[in-house]
Amino acid sequence: MECLTLNKSNCKNCYKCIRHCPVKSIRFSGNQAYIIHDDCILCGHCFVVCPQDAKKITDETEKVRVLLHSGHPVIASLAPSFTANFDGAGIGPMRAALKKLGFADAEETAIGATMVKREYDRMVNEGEKDVIITSCCHSVNLLIQKYHPALLPYLADVLSPMQAHCQDIKKRFPEARTVFIGPCIAKKDEAQMYPGLVDAVLTFDELSAWLKEEGISIEPERDDDDCSRARFFPTTGGILKTMAMENRDYTYIAIDGAENCISALKDIESGLVHHCFIEMSMCPGSCIGGPVMEKQHDSPVRNYAYVAGYAGSRDFEVPQPEKERIRKNMDRIERDAVMPSEYEIRETLRSIGKTKPEDELNCGTCGYNTCREKAIAICQGKADGTMCLPYLRDKAEMLTSKLSDIVPTALLLLNEELEIQQLNRAALDLFNLRYTSDLMGEHIVRVMNPNDFMNVLAGGKEIISKPVYLADYDRYVEETIVYDRYIHMLLCILRDVTEERKQQEYRESINRKTVETADNVVAKQMRIVQEIASLLGETAAETKIALTRLKESITDE
Protein backbone atom coordinates (compact mmCIF):
# COMPACT_ATOMS: atom_id res chain seq x y z
CA MET A 1 0.00 0.00 0.00
CA GLU A 2 1.29 3.42 -0.98
CA CYS A 3 1.02 5.66 2.07
CA LEU A 4 1.15 8.94 0.19
CA THR A 5 -0.61 9.38 -3.14
CA LEU A 6 -1.51 12.12 -5.62
CA ASN A 7 -4.87 13.71 -6.30
CA LYS A 8 -4.17 14.34 -9.99
CA SER A 9 -6.96 16.81 -10.64
CA ASN A 10 -5.55 19.24 -8.08
CA CYS A 11 -1.94 19.49 -9.29
CA LYS A 12 -1.15 22.91 -10.78
CA ASN A 13 2.54 22.42 -11.64
CA CYS A 14 3.75 24.95 -9.08
CA TYR A 15 6.78 22.72 -8.26
CA LYS A 16 6.46 23.63 -4.58
CA CYS A 17 6.54 19.97 -3.58
CA ILE A 18 9.83 19.28 -5.36
CA ARG A 19 11.35 22.45 -3.90
CA HIS A 20 10.61 21.20 -0.39
CA CYS A 21 11.36 17.51 -0.96
CA PRO A 22 14.74 16.84 0.70
CA VAL A 23 15.53 13.91 -1.61
CA LYS A 24 13.73 15.11 -4.78
CA SER A 25 11.61 11.97 -4.98
CA ILE A 26 8.93 13.53 -7.17
CA ARG A 27 8.58 13.06 -10.91
CA PHE A 28 6.75 15.44 -13.24
CA SER A 29 5.05 14.04 -16.31
CA GLY A 30 2.04 15.17 -18.31
CA ASN A 31 1.69 18.28 -16.16
CA GLN A 32 1.29 16.17 -13.04
CA ALA A 33 3.50 15.44 -10.04
CA TYR A 34 4.10 11.80 -9.16
CA ILE A 35 5.76 10.48 -6.02
CA ILE A 36 8.65 8.10 -6.73
CA HIS A 37 8.01 5.64 -3.93
CA ASP A 38 11.34 3.87 -4.33
CA ASP A 39 13.10 7.14 -3.54
CA CYS A 40 10.61 8.65 -1.06
CA ILE A 41 11.47 8.80 2.65
CA LEU A 42 7.87 9.72 3.62
CA CYS A 43 8.82 12.87 5.47
CA GLY A 44 5.49 14.37 4.38
CA HIS A 45 6.90 17.77 3.43
CA CYS A 46 5.16 17.65 0.05
CA PHE A 47 1.86 16.95 1.82
CA VAL A 48 2.38 19.94 4.09
CA VAL A 49 3.40 22.54 1.50
CA CYS A 50 1.08 21.61 -1.40
CA PRO A 51 -1.22 24.64 -1.83
CA GLN A 52 -3.79 22.58 -3.77
CA ASP A 53 -3.96 19.60 -1.38
CA ALA A 54 -2.91 17.40 -4.27
CA LYS A 55 -1.00 15.03 -1.94
CA LYS A 56 -3.15 12.82 0.25
CA ILE A 57 -2.43 10.27 2.97
CA THR A 58 -3.89 6.81 2.51
CA ASP A 59 -6.75 6.51 5.00
CA GLU A 60 -6.85 3.29 7.02
CA THR A 61 -10.06 4.06 8.91
CA GLU A 62 -12.01 1.35 7.11
CA LYS A 63 -9.25 -1.16 7.84
CA VAL A 64 -9.56 -0.34 11.54
CA ARG A 65 -13.35 -0.67 11.37
CA VAL A 66 -12.87 -4.17 9.99
CA LEU A 67 -10.49 -4.98 12.85
CA LEU A 68 -13.07 -3.78 15.37
CA HIS A 69 -15.59 -6.21 13.91
CA SER A 70 -13.15 -9.10 13.69
CA GLY A 71 -13.93 -10.45 17.16
CA HIS A 72 -10.42 -9.70 18.43
CA PRO A 73 -9.80 -7.01 21.03
CA VAL A 74 -8.30 -3.91 19.37
CA ILE A 75 -5.96 -1.79 21.49
CA ALA A 76 -4.80 1.66 20.44
CA SER A 77 -1.24 2.93 20.92
CA LEU A 78 -1.41 6.73 21.19
CA ALA A 79 1.70 8.71 20.18
CA PRO A 80 2.80 11.08 22.98
CA SER A 81 2.01 14.12 20.83
CA PHE A 82 -1.72 13.36 21.17
CA THR A 83 -1.98 15.80 24.07
CA ALA A 84 -0.84 18.63 21.76
CA ASN A 85 -3.12 17.65 18.91
CA PHE A 86 -6.18 17.33 21.13
CA ASP A 87 -5.59 20.57 23.06
CA GLY A 88 -4.23 19.22 26.33
CA ALA A 89 -6.33 16.07 26.64
CA GLY A 90 -4.89 13.31 28.82
CA ILE A 91 -4.92 9.57 28.31
CA GLY A 92 -8.17 9.18 30.30
CA PRO A 93 -10.45 11.17 27.95
CA MET A 94 -8.69 9.67 24.92
CA ARG A 95 -9.27 6.16 26.22
CA ALA A 96 -12.92 6.93 26.87
CA ALA A 97 -13.44 8.32 23.37
CA LEU A 98 -11.71 5.37 21.69
CA LYS A 99 -13.75 2.89 23.68
CA LYS A 100 -16.90 4.56 22.32
CA LEU A 101 -15.59 3.80 18.84
CA GLY A 102 -15.25 0.12 19.77
CA PHE A 103 -11.62 -0.14 20.92
CA ALA A 104 -11.00 -2.51 23.81
CA ASP A 105 -8.47 -0.13 25.35
CA ALA A 106 -5.97 2.64 24.62
CA GLU A 107 -2.45 3.08 25.98
CA GLU A 108 0.38 5.55 25.48
CA THR A 109 3.15 4.81 23.00
CA ALA A 110 5.40 6.45 25.60
CA ILE A 111 5.40 3.07 27.36
CA GLY A 112 7.29 1.65 24.38
CA ALA A 113 9.47 4.79 24.33
CA THR A 114 10.60 3.95 27.87
CA MET A 115 11.77 0.54 26.69
CA VAL A 116 13.59 2.06 23.71
CA LYS A 117 15.40 4.72 25.73
CA ARG A 118 16.60 2.07 28.18
CA GLU A 119 18.10 0.15 25.27
CA TYR A 120 19.78 3.34 24.07
CA ASP A 121 21.25 3.82 27.56
CA ARG A 122 22.61 0.29 27.45
CA MET A 123 24.19 0.79 24.03
CA VAL A 124 25.84 4.03 25.14
CA ASN A 125 27.14 2.53 28.39
CA GLU A 126 28.62 -0.46 26.58
CA GLY A 127 30.14 1.80 23.90
CA GLU A 128 29.26 -0.61 21.10
CA LYS A 129 29.41 2.03 18.33
CA ASP A 130 31.55 5.08 17.66
CA VAL A 131 28.45 6.97 16.56
CA ILE A 132 24.90 6.02 17.53
CA ILE A 133 21.93 7.40 15.58
CA THR A 134 18.50 6.91 17.07
CA SER A 135 16.07 4.78 15.06
CA CYS A 136 12.75 6.14 16.38
CA CYS A 137 12.07 8.19 13.21
CA HIS A 138 11.22 5.93 10.29
CA SER A 139 11.93 8.75 7.79
CA VAL A 140 15.48 9.04 9.14
CA ASN A 141 15.85 5.28 8.87
CA LEU A 142 14.67 5.37 5.23
CA LEU A 143 17.04 8.26 4.49
CA ILE A 144 19.99 6.20 5.71
CA GLN A 145 18.82 2.96 4.12
CA LYS A 146 18.28 4.56 0.71
CA TYR A 147 20.80 7.40 0.50
CA HIS A 148 23.50 6.76 3.12
CA PRO A 149 23.72 2.95 3.45
CA ALA A 150 27.36 3.19 4.57
CA LEU A 151 26.03 4.59 7.85
CA LEU A 152 23.75 1.63 8.63
CA PRO A 153 26.26 0.30 11.23
CA TYR A 154 25.75 3.55 13.16
CA LEU A 155 21.95 3.32 13.09
CA ALA A 156 20.69 1.89 16.38
CA ASP A 157 19.17 -1.51 15.59
CA VAL A 158 16.33 -0.96 18.03
CA LEU A 159 12.57 -1.08 17.56
CA SER A 160 10.76 2.24 17.39
CA PRO A 161 8.53 3.16 20.37
CA MET A 162 5.49 2.27 18.26
CA GLN A 163 6.82 -1.19 17.53
CA ALA A 164 8.09 -1.81 21.06
CA HIS A 165 4.75 -0.83 22.57
CA CYS A 166 2.62 -2.83 20.14
CA GLN A 167 4.90 -5.84 20.69
CA ASP A 168 4.41 -5.45 24.44
CA ILE A 169 0.62 -5.23 24.00
CA LYS A 170 0.57 -8.46 22.00
CA LYS A 171 2.75 -10.14 24.57
CA ARG A 172 0.26 -9.21 27.32
CA PHE A 173 -2.83 -9.82 25.16
CA PRO A 174 -1.97 -12.51 22.57
CA GLU A 175 -5.33 -12.21 20.79
CA ALA A 176 -5.19 -8.43 20.53
CA ARG A 177 -4.88 -6.34 17.39
CA THR A 178 -2.93 -3.09 17.61
CA VAL A 179 -3.58 0.30 16.02
CA PHE A 180 -1.05 3.11 16.26
CA ILE A 181 -2.43 6.67 16.20
CA GLY A 182 -0.04 9.59 15.61
CA PRO A 183 1.00 12.59 13.48
CA CYS A 184 3.26 10.68 11.11
CA ILE A 185 2.87 9.36 7.57
CA ALA A 186 6.03 7.22 7.71
CA LYS A 187 4.59 5.06 10.49
CA LYS A 188 2.12 3.60 8.00
CA ASP A 189 5.06 2.39 5.93
CA GLU A 190 6.96 1.15 8.99
CA ALA A 191 3.98 -0.97 10.03
CA GLN A 192 3.93 -2.60 6.58
CA MET A 193 7.69 -3.04 6.38
CA TYR A 194 7.79 -4.96 9.67
CA PRO A 195 4.54 -6.97 9.74
CA GLY A 196 3.17 -8.69 12.80
CA LEU A 197 3.63 -5.88 15.31
CA VAL A 198 1.28 -3.08 14.21
CA ASP A 199 -1.94 -4.04 12.43
CA ALA A 200 -3.02 -0.55 11.30
CA VAL A 201 -1.98 3.08 11.57
CA LEU A 202 -4.23 6.12 11.83
CA THR A 203 -3.21 9.75 11.74
CA PHE A 204 -4.65 12.22 14.20
CA ASP A 205 -6.65 13.69 11.32
CA GLU A 206 -8.24 10.35 10.53
CA LEU A 207 -9.14 9.81 14.18
CA SER A 208 -10.56 13.34 14.49
CA ALA A 209 -12.74 12.84 11.40
CA TRP A 210 -13.98 9.53 12.75
CA LEU A 211 -14.82 10.98 16.17
CA LYS A 212 -16.64 13.89 14.52
CA GLU A 213 -18.61 11.48 12.36
CA GLU A 214 -19.72 9.60 15.47
CA GLY A 215 -20.41 12.77 17.44
CA ILE A 216 -17.82 11.95 20.11
CA SER A 217 -15.98 14.78 21.86
CA ILE A 218 -12.78 14.71 23.93
CA GLU A 219 -12.52 16.62 27.17
CA PRO A 220 -9.20 18.44 27.88
CA GLU A 221 -8.57 16.62 31.16
CA ARG A 222 -5.21 15.25 32.33
CA ASP A 223 -3.89 12.82 34.91
CA ASP A 224 -1.02 13.63 37.29
CA ASP A 225 1.12 10.51 36.75
CA ASP A 226 4.72 11.50 37.51
CA CYS A 227 5.97 8.19 36.07
CA SER A 228 5.67 9.43 32.50
CA ARG A 229 8.98 10.99 31.54
CA ALA A 230 8.95 9.31 28.10
CA ARG A 231 6.13 11.65 27.11
CA PHE A 232 8.98 14.04 26.17
CA PHE A 233 9.88 11.81 23.20
CA PRO A 234 7.98 13.82 20.50
CA THR A 235 9.97 17.01 21.18
CA THR A 236 13.43 17.99 19.95
CA GLY A 237 15.88 16.66 22.53
CA GLY A 238 13.05 14.73 24.15
CA ILE A 239 14.86 11.39 23.91
CA LEU A 240 17.94 12.88 25.54
CA LYS A 241 15.77 14.31 28.33
CA THR A 242 14.72 10.79 29.28
CA MET A 243 18.17 9.19 29.10
CA ALA A 244 20.77 8.89 31.85
CA MET A 245 23.66 9.96 29.55
CA GLU A 246 26.21 8.57 32.00
CA ASN A 247 28.96 7.78 29.52
CA ARG A 248 31.01 10.99 29.33
CA ASP A 249 32.97 9.68 26.36
CA TYR A 250 29.98 10.49 24.17
CA THR A 251 28.72 13.85 23.02
CA TYR A 252 24.92 13.97 23.04
CA ILE A 253 23.30 15.92 20.20
CA ALA A 254 19.69 16.45 19.10
CA ILE A 255 19.12 17.25 15.42
CA ASP A 256 15.80 17.98 13.74
CA GLY A 257 14.74 18.99 10.24
CA ALA A 258 15.57 17.31 6.95
CA GLU A 259 18.39 19.66 5.94
CA ASN A 260 20.12 19.33 9.30
CA CYS A 261 19.79 15.55 9.25
CA ILE A 262 21.26 15.28 5.75
CA SER A 263 24.10 17.63 6.65
CA ALA A 264 24.88 15.61 9.79
CA LEU A 265 24.88 12.33 7.87
CA LYS A 266 27.31 13.78 5.32
CA ASP A 267 29.62 14.86 8.16
CA ILE A 268 29.53 11.38 9.64
CA GLU A 269 30.28 9.86 6.22
CA SER A 270 33.23 12.24 5.88
CA GLY A 271 34.65 11.01 9.19
CA LEU A 272 34.19 14.36 10.92
CA VAL A 273 32.04 13.04 13.77
CA HIS A 274 33.12 10.59 16.49
CA HIS A 275 31.88 9.41 19.89
CA CYS A 276 28.45 10.91 19.45
CA PHE A 277 24.95 9.85 20.37
CA ILE A 278 22.65 11.65 17.93
CA GLU A 279 18.93 12.01 18.42
CA MET A 280 17.74 12.55 14.86
CA SER A 281 14.23 13.62 13.81
CA MET A 282 13.17 14.40 10.26
CA CYS A 283 10.50 16.92 11.25
CA PRO A 284 11.39 20.38 12.62
CA GLY A 285 10.50 20.27 16.29
CA SER A 286 10.45 16.45 16.14
CA CYS A 287 7.09 14.62 16.18
CA ILE A 288 5.06 17.59 17.44
CA GLY A 289 6.05 19.14 14.09
CA GLY A 290 4.98 16.03 12.14
CA PRO A 291 3.28 16.52 8.77
CA VAL A 292 -0.25 16.08 10.08
CA MET A 293 0.44 18.37 13.05
CA GLU A 294 2.18 20.97 10.89
CA LYS A 295 -0.53 21.15 8.24
CA GLN A 296 -3.57 21.03 10.49
CA HIS A 297 -2.41 21.97 14.00
CA ASP A 298 0.67 24.14 13.50
CA SER A 299 1.48 25.78 16.82
CA PRO A 300 4.99 24.65 17.84
CA VAL A 301 5.28 26.66 21.07
CA ARG A 302 1.87 25.66 22.35
CA ASN A 303 2.39 22.06 21.26
CA TYR A 304 5.67 21.87 23.16
CA ALA A 305 4.03 23.41 26.22
CA TYR A 306 1.28 20.78 26.15
CA VAL A 307 3.78 17.92 25.90
CA ALA A 308 6.25 19.30 28.45
CA GLY A 309 3.46 20.06 30.90
CA TYR A 310 2.14 16.51 30.63
CA ALA A 311 5.48 14.71 31.01
CA GLY A 312 6.60 13.46 34.42
CA SER A 313 10.03 13.24 35.97
CA ARG A 314 10.32 9.45 36.25
CA ASP A 315 10.06 6.51 33.87
CA PHE A 316 6.96 4.45 33.28
CA GLU A 317 7.06 1.39 35.48
CA VAL A 318 7.17 -1.24 32.78
CA PRO A 319 9.27 -4.40 32.43
CA GLN A 320 12.15 -4.21 29.97
CA PRO A 321 12.04 -6.82 27.17
CA GLU A 322 15.01 -9.03 26.45
CA LYS A 323 17.74 -7.50 24.31
CA GLU A 324 16.95 -9.79 21.37
CA ARG A 325 13.25 -8.97 21.40
CA ILE A 326 13.79 -5.24 20.97
CA ARG A 327 16.24 -5.63 18.08
CA LYS A 328 15.33 -4.52 14.53
CA ASN A 329 17.20 -5.31 11.31
CA MET A 330 17.50 -2.45 8.87
CA ASP A 331 19.09 -3.28 5.53
CA ARG A 332 20.09 -1.22 2.55
CA ILE A 333 17.21 -0.33 0.21
CA GLU A 334 18.24 -0.20 -3.44
CA ARG A 335 16.91 2.54 -5.71
CA ASP A 336 16.41 2.32 -9.48
CA ALA A 337 17.88 5.72 -10.34
CA VAL A 338 21.07 5.48 -12.43
CA MET A 339 23.58 8.32 -12.41
CA PRO A 340 23.96 9.67 -15.97
CA SER A 341 27.33 10.21 -17.61
CA GLU A 342 28.99 13.62 -17.74
CA TYR A 343 28.32 13.77 -21.49
CA GLU A 344 24.60 13.13 -20.93
CA ILE A 345 24.46 15.84 -18.27
CA ARG A 346 26.19 18.38 -20.52
CA GLU A 347 23.91 17.55 -23.46
CA THR A 348 20.86 17.91 -21.26
CA LEU A 349 22.07 21.26 -19.98
CA ARG A 350 22.61 22.36 -23.57
CA SER A 351 19.05 21.33 -24.48
CA ILE A 352 17.68 23.80 -21.92
CA GLY A 353 19.91 26.65 -23.00
CA LYS A 354 22.74 26.13 -20.47
CA THR A 355 25.78 26.15 -22.73
CA LYS A 356 28.18 27.87 -20.35
CA PRO A 357 28.51 28.21 -16.54
CA GLU A 358 27.04 31.71 -16.44
CA ASP A 359 23.84 30.32 -17.99
CA GLU A 360 23.30 28.16 -14.91
CA LEU A 361 21.32 30.56 -12.73
CA ASN A 362 20.54 27.94 -10.04
CA CYS A 363 17.40 29.96 -9.30
CA GLY A 364 15.59 26.95 -7.82
CA THR A 365 12.29 27.76 -9.55
CA CYS A 366 12.05 24.22 -10.92
CA GLY A 367 12.49 22.80 -7.42
CA TYR A 368 16.08 21.65 -7.80
CA ASN A 369 18.95 23.38 -6.04
CA THR A 370 21.13 23.65 -9.14
CA CYS A 371 20.73 23.43 -12.90
CA ARG A 372 23.04 20.42 -12.83
CA GLU A 373 20.75 18.59 -10.38
CA LYS A 374 17.86 19.41 -12.69
CA ALA A 375 19.76 18.02 -15.70
CA ILE A 376 20.46 14.79 -13.80
CA ALA A 377 16.76 14.53 -12.93
CA ILE A 378 15.87 14.96 -16.62
CA CYS A 379 18.28 12.17 -17.55
CA GLN A 380 16.67 9.96 -14.89
CA GLY A 381 13.16 10.65 -16.21
CA LYS A 382 12.08 12.64 -13.15
CA ALA A 383 11.83 16.05 -14.80
CA ASP A 384 11.65 17.74 -18.19
CA GLY A 385 13.01 20.90 -19.74
CA THR A 386 9.73 22.79 -19.48
CA MET A 387 10.25 23.05 -15.71
CA CYS A 388 13.03 25.61 -16.24
CA LEU A 389 11.33 29.01 -15.97
CA PRO A 390 14.31 31.13 -17.20
CA TYR A 391 14.67 28.82 -20.21
CA LEU A 392 10.95 29.02 -21.02
CA ARG A 393 10.95 32.78 -20.51
CA ASP A 394 13.98 33.28 -22.78
CA LYS A 395 12.48 30.93 -25.34
CA ALA A 396 9.13 32.72 -25.25
CA GLU A 397 10.75 36.15 -25.45
CA MET A 398 12.96 35.08 -28.34
CA LEU A 399 10.02 33.55 -30.20
CA THR A 400 7.83 36.57 -29.51
CA SER A 401 10.59 38.92 -30.57
CA LYS A 402 11.18 37.05 -33.82
CA LEU A 403 7.50 36.84 -34.62
CA SER A 404 6.84 40.49 -33.81
CA ASP A 405 9.85 41.63 -35.85
CA ILE A 406 8.81 39.74 -38.99
CA VAL A 407 5.21 40.89 -38.74
CA PRO A 408 4.75 43.95 -41.00
CA THR A 409 2.08 45.36 -38.70
CA ALA A 410 3.08 47.80 -35.95
CA LEU A 411 2.51 46.40 -32.45
CA LEU A 412 2.55 48.38 -29.21
CA LEU A 413 1.93 47.15 -25.68
CA LEU A 414 0.93 49.78 -23.11
CA ASN A 415 0.24 49.70 -19.39
CA GLU A 416 -2.78 51.35 -17.78
CA GLU A 417 -0.83 54.62 -17.49
CA LEU A 418 -0.58 54.52 -21.29
CA GLU A 419 3.18 54.08 -21.14
CA ILE A 420 4.70 52.03 -23.94
CA GLN A 421 6.09 48.75 -22.59
CA GLN A 422 6.93 46.95 -25.79
CA LEU A 423 6.98 47.63 -29.53
CA ASN A 424 8.25 45.90 -32.64
CA ARG A 425 10.39 46.88 -35.60
CA ALA A 426 7.37 47.81 -37.74
CA ALA A 427 6.31 50.32 -35.08
CA LEU A 428 9.75 51.95 -35.17
CA ASP A 429 9.56 52.20 -38.95
CA LEU A 430 6.06 53.68 -38.75
CA PHE A 431 7.21 56.42 -36.37
CA ASN A 432 10.56 56.97 -38.14
CA LEU A 433 12.62 55.83 -35.14
CA ARG A 434 15.78 53.72 -34.94
CA TYR A 435 15.81 52.23 -31.43
CA THR A 436 13.15 50.76 -29.17
CA SER A 437 14.69 52.68 -26.27
CA ASP A 438 13.47 55.87 -27.96
CA LEU A 439 9.89 54.97 -27.02
CA MET A 440 10.11 52.41 -24.19
CA GLY A 441 8.48 53.84 -21.09
CA GLU A 442 7.24 56.92 -22.93
CA HIS A 443 3.60 58.03 -22.90
CA ILE A 444 1.68 57.23 -26.08
CA VAL A 445 0.96 60.95 -26.54
CA ARG A 446 4.49 61.31 -27.86
CA VAL A 447 3.57 59.55 -31.10
CA MET A 448 -0.23 59.34 -31.20
CA ASN A 449 -3.40 60.99 -30.00
CA PRO A 450 -4.24 59.20 -26.70
CA ASN A 451 -8.02 59.74 -26.86
CA ASP A 452 -8.80 56.33 -28.36
CA PHE A 453 -6.65 54.59 -25.75
CA MET A 454 -8.32 56.50 -22.93
CA ASN A 455 -11.78 55.61 -24.25
CA VAL A 456 -10.96 51.91 -24.47
CA LEU A 457 -9.44 51.95 -20.99
CA ALA A 458 -12.45 53.76 -19.53
CA GLY A 459 -15.26 51.95 -21.32
CA GLY A 460 -13.67 48.63 -22.14
CA LYS A 461 -15.09 48.65 -25.68
CA GLU A 462 -12.52 47.57 -28.23
CA ILE A 463 -11.62 49.54 -31.36
CA ILE A 464 -11.30 47.36 -34.44
CA SER A 465 -9.76 48.56 -37.73
CA LYS A 466 -10.57 52.23 -37.26
CA PRO A 467 -9.14 54.45 -40.08
CA VAL A 468 -6.75 57.00 -38.62
CA TYR A 469 -4.52 59.57 -40.31
CA LEU A 470 -1.20 60.26 -38.55
CA ALA A 471 -0.53 63.77 -39.71
CA ASP A 472 2.93 64.01 -38.14
CA TYR A 473 4.10 61.05 -40.19
CA ASP A 474 1.82 61.44 -43.25
CA ARG A 475 0.64 57.89 -42.74
CA TYR A 476 -2.79 56.28 -42.95
CA VAL A 477 -3.35 53.36 -40.58
CA GLU A 478 -6.10 51.00 -39.46
CA GLU A 479 -6.10 51.17 -35.67
CA THR A 480 -7.09 48.26 -33.38
CA ILE A 481 -6.93 48.71 -29.59
CA VAL A 482 -7.71 45.87 -27.16
CA TYR A 483 -7.66 46.04 -23.35
CA ASP A 484 -6.80 42.90 -21.36
CA ARG A 485 -8.14 43.32 -17.82
CA TYR A 486 -6.35 40.20 -16.62
CA ILE A 487 -2.85 41.49 -17.33
CA HIS A 488 -3.88 45.18 -17.17
CA MET A 489 -2.37 45.96 -20.55
CA LEU A 490 -3.47 47.59 -23.80
CA LEU A 491 -2.51 46.09 -27.15
CA CYS A 492 -2.44 48.45 -30.11
CA ILE A 493 -2.18 47.16 -33.67
CA LEU A 494 -1.51 49.70 -36.42
CA ARG A 495 -1.75 48.41 -39.97
CA ASP A 496 -0.09 50.84 -42.34
CA VAL A 497 -2.48 51.37 -45.24
CA THR A 498 -0.74 54.43 -46.69
CA GLU A 499 0.17 52.70 -49.96
CA GLU A 500 -3.31 51.24 -50.24
CA ARG A 501 -4.76 54.68 -49.61
CA LYS A 502 -2.49 56.21 -52.28
CA GLN A 503 -3.45 53.49 -54.75
CA GLN A 504 -7.07 54.11 -53.92
CA GLU A 505 -6.64 57.84 -54.43
CA TYR A 506 -4.83 57.18 -57.74
CA ARG A 507 -7.64 54.92 -58.90
CA GLU A 508 -10.18 57.53 -57.83
CA SER A 509 -8.23 60.18 -59.76
CA ILE A 510 -8.16 57.98 -62.87
CA ASN A 511 -11.87 57.39 -62.50
CA ARG A 512 -12.55 61.08 -62.18
CA LYS A 513 -10.47 61.85 -65.27
CA THR A 514 -12.18 59.06 -67.18
CA VAL A 515 -15.59 60.38 -66.23
CA GLU A 516 -14.55 63.91 -67.19
CA THR A 517 -13.24 62.67 -70.56
CA ALA A 518 -16.44 60.78 -71.21
CA ASP A 519 -18.50 63.81 -70.28
CA ASN A 520 -16.42 65.94 -72.64
CA VAL A 521 -16.83 63.44 -75.49
CA VAL A 522 -20.58 63.26 -74.94
CA ALA A 523 -20.85 67.03 -74.81
CA LYS A 524 -18.80 67.40 -77.98
CA GLN A 525 -20.88 64.76 -79.74
CA MET A 526 -24.01 66.54 -78.65
CA ARG A 527 -22.67 69.79 -80.06
CA ILE A 528 -21.83 68.07 -83.34
CA VAL A 529 -25.27 66.53 -83.49
CA GLN A 530 -26.83 69.88 -82.78
CA GLU A 531 -24.71 71.53 -85.48
CA ILE A 532 -25.58 68.80 -88.00
CA ALA A 533 -29.21 69.11 -87.06
CA SER A 534 -29.05 72.85 -87.52
CA LEU A 535 -27.42 72.48 -90.97
CA LEU A 536 -29.92 69.82 -91.96
CA GLY A 537 -32.72 72.13 -90.88
CA GLU A 538 -31.44 75.01 -92.96
CA THR A 539 -30.92 72.74 -95.97
CA ALA A 540 -34.38 71.27 -95.62
CA ALA A 541 -35.92 74.75 -95.46
CA GLU A 542 -34.05 75.92 -98.52
CA THR A 543 -35.03 72.76 -100.35
CA LYS A 544 -38.64 73.24 -99.38
CA ILE A 545 -38.61 76.82 -100.70
CA ALA A 546 -36.96 75.75 -103.93
CA LEU A 547 -39.40 72.94 -104.46
CA THR A 548 -42.33 75.19 -103.68
CA ARG A 549 -41.19 77.72 -106.21
CA LEU A 550 -40.63 74.95 -108.77
CA LYS A 551 -44.10 73.67 -108.11
CA GLU A 552 -45.64 77.11 -108.54
CA SER A 553 -43.72 77.62 -111.74
CA ILE A 554 -44.97 74.40 -113.21
CA THR A 555 -48.49 75.21 -112.16
CA ASP A 556 -48.40 78.60 -113.85
CA GLU A 557 -47.43 77.00 -117.09
What is the tally of structural domains in the chain?
3
Q: CATH no. for residue 161? A: 3.40.950.10
pLDDT at 339: 86
How many residues comprise the chain?
557
pLDDT at 150: 96
**Is there a domain that residue 398 lies in?**
no
Q: Are residues 300 and 427 in the same domain?
A: no
Asked if 192 and 182 touch (Cβ cutoff 8 Å), the reply is no
What average pLDDT does range 268-297 have in this prediction?
90
pLDDT at 514: 83
**Nearest Cα to 20, choosing from 53, 37, 43?**
43
pLDDT at 400: 65
- For residue 157, name the pLDDT band (cuts at 50, 70, 90): very high
d(CA 363, CA 14): 15
**Nearest Cα to 277, choosing from 139, 135, 124?**
124
- For residue 557, name the pLDDT band (cuts at 50, 70, 90): low
**Nearest Cα to 95, choosing from 235, 230, 231, 223?**
223
**Is there a domain that residue 557 lies in?**
no
**Is there a domain that residue 186 lies in?**
yes
Sequence-separated (6 or more) residues with CB below 8 Å from residue 413: 420, 421, 422, 423, 489, 490, 491, 492
- For residue 381, name the pLDDT band (cuts at 50, 70, 90): confident
**CA trace torsion 370, 376, 380, 384 (10° rounding):** 60
| Strand positions, DSSP E, 19-85 | 26-29, 32-35, 55-57, 74-78
Q: Are residues 227 and 356 in the same domain?
A: no
Q: Are residues 468 and 349 in the same domain?
A: no
Highest mean pLDDT among 319-328, 361-370, 536-545: 319-328
Highest mean pLDDT among 10-14, 186-190, 522-526: 186-190
Q: Are residues 373 and 254 in the same domain?
A: no
- For residue 419, name the pLDDT band (cuts at 50, 70, 90): very high
Q: Are residues 462 and 351 in the same domain?
A: no
Q: Are residues 380 and 431 in the same domain?
A: no
Summary count for the chain: helices (H), strands (E): 20, 16
Q: Are residues 191 and 235 in the same domain?
A: yes
- For residue 63, name the pLDDT band (cuts at 50, 70, 90): very high
Asked if 376 and 339 touch (Cβ cutoff 8 Å), the reply is yes
Q: CATH no. for residue 420? A: 3.30.450.20
d(CA 387, CA 378): 10
**CA trace torsion 206, 210, 212, 215 (10° rounding):** -160
Q: Are residues 118 and 218 in the same domain?
A: yes
Task: Provide the mean pLDDT of the chain.
Answer: 90
pLDDT per residue over 463-514, tens digit each? 999 999 999 999 999 999 999 988 899 999 999 998 888 888 788 888 888 8
Asked if 112 and 233 touch (Cβ cutoff 8 Å), the reply is no
pLDDT per residue over 301-355, tens digit each? 999 999 999 999 999 999 999 999 999 999 999 988 788 898 988 888 888 888 8
pLDDT at 529: 78
Q: Are residues 371 and 422 in the same domain?
A: no
Structural domain for 241, as ranges: 59-316
Asked if 75 and 173 touch (Cβ cutoff 8 Å), the reply is yes
pLDDT-wise least confident of 21-25, 260-264, 339-343, 383-387: 383-387
Q: Are residues 288 and 344 in the same domain?
A: no
